Structure formats: structure tokens, C-alpha cells
Amino acid sequence: MIALRADNISHRYQGKPVLQGIDLEIAAGESFAIVGHNGAGKSTLLRLLAFLERPTAGEVVALVSGARTPADLALRRRIVMVMQRPFLFSTSVLTNVAYGMRVRGASRREARERAHRALEMVGLSSLADRAARTLSGGEAQLVNLARALAVEPEVLLLDEVTSHLDPDNEARAEAVITKLTASGRVTVIVVTQDLDQATRLAGRGALLRRGRVEAVGEVRGLRQTRRG
């Protein structure tokens, strides 16, 4: 299992500081929430924790069974981030969901089988053969989630993955995520605007404000800080 640590990371875009002096530890198998206002730096922090970008200063460290491990391709393939804005290829829904497994070397048949199972988990089996570009916003968001689940990652980073979902689909997506977190085998980091959702999905979390960690700890405690 994989733990992640942000060691004093800062990040700038075109010289503008977006994250400053972030120290965080997310234990292996933990579910952790990141909350904060628009532009606080949540998505940026998630991309850094997913090793999709390198911080301008400081570093993100991956620990496997407690030992520091280089973030090489093999490690990065065990980590999957679901982006805030779904990016789907102009192919069928099933091919989109199977993509991550194909990249990781699964056979076509195995990838298709697991893709079908992942679509079933999010309640979209009936859309497997649809052209992905014809999906509604909420459907695209669920396919985006299914694609990540299908890979069975060891670290799953979710960036506001229920923001376009109706209450039923939100509850379904949360149930899928909760099942994963309850297994204790996956390290899950969720970004959300919704402290109630953070409480349902995570034990601990961090409150980001203008690129800094304002508070870290039990999600329940963050609510007080955000109000105050």
C-alpha cells in the first residue's frame, strides 16, 4: 500500500504562487479530504500528489510499506487521478473505460470485462456502446469515475467527482467510493466543496485557503475552522 507525503511544497504558475509551504501526510489506506474555496489550489495540490506535475519547490514523497520509493512509471501506474473536467476520447464509452487497463498491459478481453464491471458499479451498463461524446455532463462524470475504478488503483485521487450528479447518482457514486475506503486497501484523496460529503467519505482532511493549509485533522473539526 502507498502512503503520500507533501514535504514543504510550493507551486507557482507564471511566477504567481498557487500553493505555499504545504506539509501533509496521507497514510496508506487512509481516506483524506481536501476542501476549500474556488481557486484555493485544491486541484493543483491533487495533481502534484498524483505526480502529474512537479512542485516548484519541496517534494511529494511516495512511501510503499513505509519505505521511500521513486515515482517512476511503475509507481505512477498504481496511482489514478479523476480530473475535475472529464476528458473522454471520441470512442465508445466501453473503450474509454477500458483505456487505462490497456495502457497498463491488460489483454483486450480482460480490459473489456473489467470495464463492463466498472460501468455496472456506476449504473451505466446500458451506455457501454454509446459514443462518449453524446453523453450528458453527469453521465460523462460517471464514466470518468468508472475508468479510474476499472484500473483498481492503489491510490485514487478524486477531484469533485460528483459535482454534476443528481442526488441518486451522487449517493451511488459515494457508495462505490465508501466501499473502496472501507476495504482499507486503497489510499483515497477526495477534493470536494461539500463538507458533508467530506464527512461521509473521509476521516481526516485539510482545509486549503489561498494556497495554504489552514487546518488539518478530523473532517468534523474543519467545519468549525471554515465557519470561524
Ligand X SMILES: Nc1ncnc2c1ncn2[C@@H]1O[C@H](COP(=O)(O)OP(=O)(O)OP(=O)(O)O)[C@@H](O)[C@H]1O
Instruction: By CB under 6 A, name the binding residues for ligand X.
Output: 13-14, 18, 36, 38-44, 84
Q: How far is the CB of 9 from ligand X (least distance, A)?
A: 13
Give 209's strand partners: 212
Distance in angstroms (rounded) separating the CA atoms of residues 120 and 33: 26
Q: Which does 13 bind (CB under 5 to 8 A by kind): Mg ion, ligand X, none?
A: ligand X
Residue 127's CB is within 10 A of a number of other CB atoms, namely 20
Q: Which residue is nearest to Mg ion (CB)?
A: 43
Cell 453523453 belongs to 135
Q: How far is the CB of 94 from ligand X (least distance, A)?
A: 29
Burial 173-190 (b: 16+ CB within 10 A, else e): bbebbeebbeeeebbbbb
Q: Does 43 bind Mg ion (CB under 5 A)?
A: yes
Q: Which does 147 bind (CB under 5 to 8 A by kind): Mg ion, ligand X, none?
A: none
Residue 135, CA distances (Å) to 15, 97, 103, 139 in order: 38, 14, 23, 6
| Stretch of 39-47, 48-56, 91-99, 197-205 lying at the interface with Mg ion (CB under 5 A) | 39-47
| Stretch of 36-44, 97-105, 119-127, 165-173 lying at the interface with Mg ion (CB under 5 A) | 36-44
82 closest CA partner among 1, 175, 163? 163
Q: How far is the CB of 85 from Mg ion (least distance, A)?
A: 9
Using the minimum distance from each CB to ligand X, give the nearer residue, 81 or 98: 81
Q: Is 118 strand, coil or helix?
A: helix
- Cell reading at 51: 505526480
Q: List, in order, residues 6 or more apart from 100 with CB less than 8 Å away.
A: 80, 147, 148, 150, 151
Using the minimum distance from each CB to ligand X, give the nearer residue, 53 or 110: 53
Per-position x/- string for 76-105, each x denoting binding to Mg ion as judged by CB under 5 A, each - no binding:
--------x---------------------
Q: How far is the CB of 185 from ligand X (least distance, A)?
A: 27
Q: How far is the CB of 183 from ligand X (least distance, A)?
A: 27
Using the minimum distance from each CB to ligand X, give the nearer residue, 154 or 159: 159
Residue 204, CA distances (Å) to 58, 80, 201 in order: 23, 20, 10
Using the minimum distance from each CB to ligand X, give the nearer residue, 115 or 140: 140
Distance in angstroms (rounded) separating the CA atoms of residues 223 and 72: 37
Using the minimum distance from each CB to ligand X, give the nearer residue, 13 or 87: 13
Contact set with Mg ion (CB under 5 A): 42-43, 84
